Amino acid sequence: MDQPLTPLIQAEELIGLNPSSYILVDTSFGKANYEEKHLKGAVYVDLNTQLSDIKSDAADGGRHPLPTPQQFSERLGDLGITPDSHVIVYDNKNGGMSAARFWWMMKAIGHKKIQVINGGLNAAIAAGFQTSNESVNPTPASPYPIEGWKLPLSNIAEVEALSQKESHIVVDVRETDRYLGKVEPIDLIAGHIPGAINIPFSENLETDGQFKSPDELKEKYQKAFGDTSSENIIVHCGSGVTACHTLLALAHAGMEIPKLYVGSWSEWSRNGKTIA
């Protein structure tokens, strides 16, 4: 029986794999970045059109709502991804943009063989992985069989009901200045959800963009969470993308994956909710 894959793969380990044994996915934000330079053989996946179902009003689900399982099923089929595929994903933000979101979505449909390159594009290049500016067109497969999202999700009503209860923890992973309401470069209102604590996702990384060790991350989050069980922890960010970076860090640390509030601050701040 094969050993379960770790959530992260080192760039050096990737180089040692047969390219025909995995599907490499670039999720860097903006296709222009992919077209300028990407890891050789990588297909492109777009956050806005393939990993989200963006609506005209961000008050309904935030800036990057999840696609329906049926939509995601078809998009994975278009990419040639099947339940047996070993999928390796990266972005140009050390997993902090879309790679972790894609990882979470794959885990949430029950996919077994999904990994994120530790350190992303830069780490792979530094390790000697070849780059290219030629687009890769995947060979389509049948729609991926999806029964639904299997990882825990939260919503605005639940967050409002639980954010200030001692039995629950809501984690805001945005930069501290955004959490404190000092700046807000994206959404309409500055501040944070009342009762939420701030653990910026950037703190999951070393200065070189690599994730901190599992032991260090486990110690950090166990201290923050105390005895609170994962089902009573809700993680959010601005629009449900970088929150997945923290969920990836927790998985890397061998901890249970808490609930993801996809709508996040972009939804909360547009619904007349109390602001702290």
Catalytic (active-site) positions: 237
Task: Tell which residue, 228, 220, 267, has the closest CA to residue 246.
Answer: 220
If you search the block for the tokens 């955004």, which residue do you land on?
A: 178
Q: Provide the pairing of β-strand 38-39 with 131-132.
A: antiparallel
Which ranges constitute the DSSP H helices of 114-228? 120-126, 156-162, 176-179, 214-225
Q: For tokens 């885990």, what's the residue?
A: 107
Name the strand (E) or helix (H) holding 262: none
Residue 68 burial (CB count, 10 A): 13
Contacts of residue 98, defined as CB under 8 A and 6 or more positions apart, other chains included, come to 27, 28, 29, 45, 47, 51, 91, 241
Q: How many CB atoms lie within 10 A of CB 272?
A: 9
φ, ψ of residue 90 to 5 degrees: the values are -150, 165
Which ranges of the chain does DSSP label H, i.e. alpha helix? 11-15, 31-36, 47-50, 69-78, 99-108, 120-126, 156-162, 176-179, 214-225, 243-252, 264-268
